[in-house]
Amino acid sequence: MTALAAEHLTDLERRLHTKRLDRDIRSRAIPPELARLTHVLVRYYDQLANGFSVPHPDGTGVRDAAHRASALLRQAEHLLGPPAHTETPRSALAQKLRATSIALGCGLDLLVTHFPTTDQVASANATVIAAPNTARSLLHQLSTHTATIGHLARRTNDPANQAGPLLLKAAILSRIYSETQTTPTLTAVPLHHTPDRIPPEINEHKNQSLAGINASIHRLSLPTTSSSIPTWRYLARAAAIICDLNHKAVQQLIYRLNELNSPDHLPAFQHAQADLQQTGRAWKTISRHWDEYVGHYGHPANGPATDASDLIVRFGRLLHADPVWTPSPRASPCLKPPHKLVPDLAHAAELVTITLKTTEACNIIASHHTAIHDAAAISVLNRQKRFPTHQPRVTRPARQLSTHYNTAQARGHQAITTLGQAIQDLTSLSNPLPEEARLILRRTTISAARLQHQLAASDFPTPITEFLNGQEPGRYSDGQSNPTIRFSSQHSKR
């Protein structure tokens, strides 16, 4: 049934710019039919937002997008007026819209029969229908249908034509959240739960500090709360500070290798230090980009920001001489002497492993595509407020932010690779490479291979999807007291 509805809508899409459609669309019989069709789409979005009553834990992004789109469609439905109730539509265009409404409605009714009710149990296909990939595919299909209806509504008479921009906003939101899927991180042992937070303490024992660092990294890879623009801004700045700490750690290690008369290992670590510096610059670029989103300030109070703050504090105190060090412009820059930080080569491998783990934590932050989704949605909506008559499109800043995240992730992978090679050359049979470091290098190799096609595609001047959608080449549309440490932007710009 949905395929039949898609055929009707595809036919209408092909006739969008014909003179006959421009004449027929202004009939008084069309807005009620569009209202009826919009109401059917609202039902679809509501089911997706509810997870078909059996929400999957990994489908939060799709459900959130469906909820937002449903709210926009309800406003559009109100502007279109009461739905049509006549048995026989008056025109050929009205008949096609009625047939589309019936086909889509029947398709949804068939889908709903697979899910449990008071009178029946769920079918064997219920879990497949409610799976994140299936929901994402359905959301993508709905975005196309919603866009077609939006273009039709824009061509109707006032006030029904005011529903067009709302429908197009819903379409672009649905498309953004349906196209990108976060690549899961490969782990050696499946993590069935998120570890509890371990708040930093003054004068922690080294083992306690390392346990806290591990807990923070695991919590960052398994966020349990939704994020916001202030959170993404905070995490970008936190990643820049982590890269700065990594740079300092490798610098102290280089000093110590000179003291230990191991000059043969210096070039590899100097190369790794340069890669870490490049990664930090990429994160500073992302941080500055988030600062351009005016009106979304405030201090985040959710889990990811707190975990990033804990990670910075612990790693910073591990390197600095000040036992109460925190990231701020007034923080003491004095580091622990190299011979105390790295007494021997075994401790050097331990420090490099910590650096590898914290760099991987930055890559985990970069892999959160929800940040790009939120930025794109806000950019589209802000531009629509300025130019309400323009067709909603993903803006240039949103595309640039996506490229910056991919660049930061690629440079993070490169830093892990070079640092891993350096520590492999440094270790020996008496001081073997820690297993944690081996796992990180393995994960990075797999993840980097998946990222190569994204970086290659980003070099093209115009994405192929813009040509398929008919966009002109080369054009863009423009509970407790908060435990999270507040750090200023000045520190991230050092």
pLDDT at 392: 65
Checking if the pLDDT of 320 tops 80, the result is yes
Dist. CA 331–CA 154, nearest whole Å: 57
Whether the Cβ atoms of residue 287 and residue 240 lie closer than 8 Å to each other: yes
Joined tokens for residue 430? 């008496």
φ and ψ at 73, to 5 degrees?
-65, -35
221-248 burial, b at 16+ Cβ within 10 Å, e below that, comes to bbbeeebbbbbbbbbbbbbbbbbbbbbb
pLDDT at 472: 39
Q: Which residue has the tokens 């703050």?
A: 309
Read off the pLDDT band of 280 (50, 70, 90): very high
pLDDT at 275: 92
Mean pLDDT computed over 4-27: 74
- The domain ranges of the chain are 2-179, 206-492
- The count of other CB atoms within 10 Å of the CB of residue 490 is 9
pLDDT in tens, 392-412: 666 777 788 888 888 998 898
pLDDT at 312: 93
pLDDT at 50: 84
Distance between alpha carbon 223 and the CA centroid of its chain, in Å?
12
pLDDT at 225: 58
Checking if the pLDDT of 167 tops 50, the result is yes
pLDDT at 419: 86
Enter the DSSP assignment of 395. Answer: B
The runs of H, that is alpha helices, within 292-395 are 303-319, 338-341, 345-366, 369-386
Cβ neighbours for 364, distance < 8 A, ≥ 6 positions apart: 185, 217, 220, 221
pLDDT at 480: 40
Enter the DSSP assignment of 278. Answer: H
pLDDT in tens, 234-246: 898 999 999 999 9
Q: Among 143, 214, 152, which residue's Cα sits nearest to residue 172?
A: 143
Checking if the pLDDT of 57 tops 90, the result is no
Dist. CA 252–CA 357, nearest whole Å: 18
Read off the pLDDT band of 95 (50, 70, 90): confident
pLDDT in tens, 97-153: 888 888 888 888 887 777 777 666 667 677 777 787 888 888 888 888 888 888 888
Q: 391: burial class by Cβ within 10 Å (0-12, 13-18, 19+)?
A: middle
Checking if the pLDDT of 208 tops 50, the result is yes
Whether the Cβ atoms of residue 280 and residue 247 lie closer than 8 Å to each other: yes
pLDDT in tens, 339-348: 888 888 778 8
Instruction: Give the type of residue at 486.
Output: R
Read off the pLDDT band of 42 (50, 70, 90): very high
Checking if the pLDDT of 473 tops 60, the result is no
Cβ neighbours for 226, distance < 8 A, ≥ 6 positions apart: 60, 64, 302
* 2-179 topology per CATH: Ferritin (1.20.1260)
pLDDT in tens, 380-391: 676 767 777 666
Q: Is the pTM of this model over 0.75?
A: no
Joined tokens for residue 166? 């709302």
Checking if the pLDDT of 478 tops 70, the result is no
Instruction: Give the type of residue at 388.
Output: P
- The count of other CB atoms within 10 Å of the CB of residue 492 is 21
pLDDT at 483: 43
pLDDT at 119: 66
